[in-house]
Structures are given as structure tokens and as C-alpha cells.
Structure 1
Amino acid sequence: MYNMGTKSIQVSEAFHSYVEAHKKEGETLGETLVRLTGGPRPEIVAGLVSEETAEAMEEATETRSQNQTTSREHVVEQFEATDDS
């Protein structure tokens, strides 16, 4: 995913357990943290990556945002459809 070197950080055991619990198969803890936090925003890393890569990251971020909104709207619609009041 992001291969810009590594750093070690100290986190509480509770937070480590939280991240570990959300880790997908084959994913490193670092990759899990990037996924859970949404990763670095494209405008922050734009100077570190090519313009093409930055644009692809922005598009992916927008698509993800649209998918989350659509998903939330779908859940609300399903809830309203089954609401007995």
C-alpha cells in the first residue's frame, strides 16, 4: 500500500487490541490503521507522489465517500420501510 518507510509507535494495550480486532486477513497492523483512519488525505501527500497517483487517490476518496453515503441512505430507507409506527 504505502511504502514510505516505517516508524514504531507506542499505543495502549486497549488500542492495540482494538486495531487487532479490526485487522483483516493478510493485512498488517499498519495497513489496518491506514484503513481505519482513512489514510493520508490526498492533498497532504500530493507533493510526495506523482500527480497521476494523487488524482487517483482523490477519485478513490470521493468514490468511497459516495458509497458510504449511499449505504447510509439505503439503511435509513430499509429502517423506514420496516418501521411499524
Structure 2
Amino acid sequence: MGTKSIQVSETFHAYVKAHKREGETMGEALVRLTGGPEPEAVASLVSEETAEAMEEAITKRNQRKTTSRERVVEQFEKSDDS
């Protein structure tokens, strides 16, 4: 299988790099993190506007996950205080 280069914002690249597992390629990390197809399969199918919207949606989802985790931690801390 060949490879393709795609342009992503520095912020998104840093996000993927930070979540990339040892021994995993950036492409493999993208597939795992997005739960989607191989990036090269969709690179030419989305406009820059769509890519930006996708990035925003991913950021919002991750913020919600962080907030949910924080709530769980708070609940455990409250139960420890009881």
C-alpha cells in the first residue's frame, strides 16, 4: 500500500503525536483515534472547511470526555471524604 501526505493544523498534529502509541505510525494513530478508515482513503474527499469542522468536533468530544473524567474523580474524592 502506498502512502499520501495530508496537511493538518499544528494543533491537530500535536494531538495525534501526543496520543500515538510506541511503535505506532502517525497513520495508524489517526485510524485508531478517529475510528475511521485509512486517512489516505478520505484525504481527497473532504474540503478544508469539512476538515476544520471535523477537527472542532474532535476537540469538543475530547473536552467532554475530560469533563466526564473530572466528574468521576470528584465523585470518588467525595466518597473518600465520607
**Length-normalised TM-score, structure 1:** 0.46
**Length-normalised TM-score, structure 2:** 0.47
- Does 1 or 2 have the higher relative contact order (CA < 8 Å, sep 6+)? 2
Look at both structures and tell me which one has the larger radius of gyration over its CA atoms. 1
Larger relative helix fraction: 2
